[in-house]
Amino acid sequence: MTDDGVLTPGPPDLVSLLLDTNTVDEFLLALAENALRMSPTADGCGVTLERENRPLTVASAGISAPPLDEAQYGQDD
């Protein structure tokens, strides 16, 4: 990301992303949004963590990630 907030092509600088966000939630959302931008054919991207042996979506970007995650969780995948 440049100083004026414009995203540059290529993978995000994770240190800058961490420094530019105020919370872990904001960082994870920014990470998902950057991943979605880097995948031009994707219409969704999510960050999933495992807690007590169960998946938990902690951030998502795009329209398809939440419903696909829910469908996947319902199948115990």
The mean pLDDT values, 10 residues at a time, for the chain of 77 residues are: 56 84 94 89 89 88 82 70
Structurally, how many domains does the chain consist of?
1
The total of other beta-carbon atoms located within 10 Å of residue 8's CB is 9
Q: What pLDDT, on a 0 to 100 scale, did the predictor assign at position 4?
A: 54
The total of other beta-carbon atoms located within 10 Å of residue 17's CB is 17
Distance, in Å, from the CA atom of 46 to the CA atom of 2, rounded to the nearest integer, reads 24
Instruction: Identify the residue whose tokens are 């990630």.
Output: 65
The H helix count followed by the E strand count for the chain is: 3, 2
Residue type, 20: D
pTM of the model: 0.71
Structural domain that includes position 66? 14-74
* Residue 7: inside a domain: no
* Residue 1: inside a domain: no
